[in-house]
Each structure stands twice: as structure tokens, then as C-alpha cells.
Amino acid sequence: IVLTQSPGTLSLSPGERAPLSCRASQSVSDSFLAWYQQKPGQAPRLLIYDASNRAAGIPDRFSGSGSGTDFTLTISRLEPEDSAVYYCQQYRSPPYTFGQGTRLEIK
Amino acid sequence: QVQLEESGPGLVKPSETLSLTCTVSGYSISSGYYWGWIRQTPGKGLEWIGSIYHSGSAYYNPTLESRVTISVDTPKNQFFLRLSSVTAADTAVYYCARVLSRSGPWVYWGHGTLVNVSS
């Protein structure tokens, strides 16, 4: 399953809302889709799993939605610390695949 | 809490075998869950290499399957990656990780280790 993320780069101001898209080449059944945040020099950090469930310790500013082939990560009330690259990943069927990432810049 | 740490050579010569160890603390591998290896390159991004269950049952990314072996040593609470016949294309940051449940997603990650393939 090929995952395509858009946009490639997003530049927004603090307090704004960021919608990040992940489109799958075929249906991700059971919504086995996750979102990760990665900052420079760090491992990815799990934000959302099963398309819409927040991982432990993740603020409610982060929310996931979607099903089938179209998924969205929405980050509300952007903060400077949200500057990072965000990846989606499907774990429904091997080979488990990741999107190419969306870079979020906070102005 | 669950912690993972990768270790191994940072430099491997072309055509040789890359060998990495993931040492787990805060959780016993024998208690369950899938454990795996993921690598990251600037060109190809994040790539799942393979996963292993505590029983030793492993499965791999078909693009790497002919060169990869993942194994586990439950008494030492470690699991391992071997990638044979490496080329410059295998230069990457290699991460070990554990799933949240079932086949994924990856909730616990090591810090990653950079492996350069060069003569």
C-alpha cells in the first residue's frame, strides 16, 4: 500500500489549524493507520493510532480522522513546538509502509 | 517504562553483513508483542525491515527478505538484525521498536543508530 502525504510543506502561524492529508493507494481496512511526529535527531513519536485514537500523553490538539483511503491529521491551536515532520503509516498488511512526510513549519 | 537501545558498528564495508542488537529494558520480550526494525534514509524515508514475535516467528519486507534475518534472545532480552551483502543504499539510521498492539503501530522506539556502508 503506497501512502501519499500532502502538502509536502506547510507553513503556518501559532494559533492556526493544520490539516495534513494521507491518501492510500488501496483501502486500509479496519483503519489500521497511524500518525507520527519526528523532530530532528529524534525517533518518530506515535501520535494517533487506528486512525483516530490518541496515543498516551498526546494533547487533544492532535486529532485524526478518515477511513478507507483518505485520512487526515489535524493539529489545532498550533504551538512553536509543533514544528516537525509528520508521517502516516499503515499496519494493516505487510509490507507496512510509511508516507513520505509533511514538514510543518511554525512561522 | 519500556526502553530500547540499538548497538552495533557504525561503519560496514560493501558486500559485508550489517549486524545490530536491540537491548530492551523495562519489559520482558518473552511477555509478548511484536518487535521490529525500521530504517530511515533521506532518499527513501522510513522503511519497515521486519518484525519478530517473542516465539521467534519473524516476517520481513519482501524487498529485503533475501538478505535479512531477525532473531531474538529472550533470556538476554535482546533481538537482532542481520542484513547481508550490503551496499551504499543500505546506509541509514536503523531503529528498533515495539508495537502498541497486534501488528502495529510502533509505540516504543530506540534512539536510532547510523550505519554507513563504505569502503
The pLDDT, as a whole number, for residue A72 is: 98
Cβ atoms of residues A83 and A18 within 8 Å: no
**A39-75, pLDDT tens digit by residue?**
999 999 999 999 999 999 999 999 999 999 999 999 9
On the question of pLDDT at B27 being above 90, the answer is yes
What is the overall mean pLDDT for chain B? 96
**A8-23, pLDDT tens digit by residue?**
999 999 999 999 999 9
Report how far residue B72's alpha carbon sits from residue A93's, in angstroms, rounded to the nearest whole number. Answer: 23
pLDDT (average), residues B74-96: 97
Distances (CA, A) of B52 to A78, B9, B29, B56: 38, 22, 10, 6
The pLDDT, as a whole number, for residue B102 is: 84
The pLDDT, as a whole number, for residue B73 is: 96
Cβ atoms of residues A103 and A7 within 8 Å: no
pLDDT (average), residues B42-64: 94
Cell of A21: 492529508
What is the DSSP code (8-state) at residue A42? S
The pLDDT, as a whole number, for residue B90 is: 97
Q: Give CA A3 to chain center in angstroms.
A: 11
Return the percentage of chain A with pLDDT > 90, whole number. Answer: 99
- The chain B residues in contact with chain A (CB within 8 A) are 45-48, 59, 61-63, 95, 97, 99-100, 102-107, 109-112
Name the residue with cell 485514537: A53
Q: Which residue of A has its CA nearest to B94?
A: A43
In sequence order, what are the beta bridge partners of B117?
Answer: B12
Report how far residue B67's alpha carbon sits from residue B16's, in angstroms, rounded to the nearest whole number. Answer: 11
Distances (CA, A) of B88 to B67, B94, B115: 15, 14, 10
Cell of A91: 499496519
Buried b (16+ CB within 10 A) or exposed e, B43-63: eebbbbbbbbebeeebbbbee
Q: Name residues whose C-beta falls within 8 Å of residue B114's C-beta, 6 or more positions apart in sequence.
A: B10, B92, B93, B94
The pLDDT, as a whole number, for residue B3 is: 98
The pLDDT, as a whole number, for residue B43 is: 83
Cβ atoms of residues A79 and A106 within 8 Å: yes
The pLDDT, as a whole number, for residue A90 is: 97
B107 contacts in A (CB within 8 Å)? Answer: 46, 49, 55
A94 touching B (Cβ < 8 Å): yes
